Amino acid sequence: MNTAVQEKQKKVILITGASRGIGAFTASLLAQQGHSIIINYANNDQEANAVVQRIQANGGTATAFKANISHSDEVTQLFDYAIQTYGRLDVLMNNAGIMRLNKIEDVDDETIDQLLAINLKGPLYTMREAAKRLAHGGKIINLSSSVVGMKLETYGVYTASKAAIESLTAILAKELRGKNITVNAIAPGPTATALFLEGKSDELIARLIQAAPLERLGTVEDIAAVLDFAVNEGSNWVNAQILRVNGGIV
């Protein structure tokens, strides 16, 4: 095959929440392919800079930009930065998120507000900006969760935030008719990152491992492989879809 056809198109990719976990690993993988990556994060400068340094040491292109996605003015600044720095933006990966677990009868107002602000309002702000500013042929990839299908006790507010993201994915895909921009969601199952492991008992982790027919947790490699597909040309005809990546847990 002609090498020009085989070669992947180089893209400018904004990954929210890319200072660790799924976002950081995916950033490194995509940078190795020659894509330029904007590493967004909200708190930990050291972790974000370490991801940038790792990518640059391997010959890749990345820069970090601190912005709390739950604040719309910071989201606008993040997009301004991306477009001013790289000249255009091709891909938005809505990856930043937090998890808090409570029974609905116990959850306090602050937890509800925080979960919805970061997991729902944040991606809504970035999708709004991307809908206006993404380059022709662009892609929006949202991180949902397989808990939308599992409907686990104590996951109520978190699951509600991700269910809303799945609805927004399909609706925005329709609204972008004519712009050649696709919108899809990837919905991992339990994946071995801080978000999943912190605050969970060994017993709960063991139960969730057993719940998948493949009897293990997902890894950042498992999820990044599918995000890689979602970013690159192989997925050009995939639009308005939710893809669960979970070893068969649901």
Enumerate the active-site residues: 158
**With binding defined as CB under 6 A, does residue 26 bind ligand NDP?**
no
Residue 170 binds ligand NDP (CB under 6 A):
no
Q: Which residues contact 161 (CB under 8 A, 6 or more apart)?
A: 115, 116, 119, 120
168: contact with ligand NDP by CB under 6 A: no
Handedness of CA 16, 21, 23, 25 (dihedral sign): positive
Rounded CA separation 228/250 (Å): 22
Measured at the alpha carbon of residue 150, what is the angle toward residues 147 and 151, in degrees to the nearest 5?
80
17 binds ligand NDP (CB under 6 A): yes
Residues near 126 by Cβ (< 8 Å), separated by ≥ 6?
14, 16, 69, 75, 78, 79, 92, 94
* Region 88-127 residues binding ligand NDP, contact defined as CB under 6 A: 95-98, 118, 122
DSSP state of 234: G
- The angle subtended at Cα 246 by Cα 220 and Cα 29, nearest 5°, is 25
Per-residue interface string for the shown chain with ligand NDP, residues 197-226, x marking contact by CB under 6 A: ------------------------------
Residue 22 contacts ligand NDP per CB under 6 A: yes
Q: How many CA atoms lie within 13 A of 218 on its CB side?
A: 27
85 touches ligand NDP by CB under 6 A: no
3-state secondary structure of 35: coil
Smallest distance from the beta carbon of 61 to ligand NDP, in angstroms? 19
Q: Which of 194, 206, 225, 238 binds ligand NDP (CB under 6 A)?
A: 194
Binding to ligand NDP (CB under 6 A): which residues in 129-148? 143, 145
Which stretch in 4-12, 67-75, 133-141, 149-157 sits in contact with ligand NDP by CB under 6 A?
Answer: 67-75
For ligand NDP, the binding residues (CB under 6 A) are 16-23, 40-44, 68-70, 95-98, 118, 122, 143, 145, 188, 190-191, 193-196
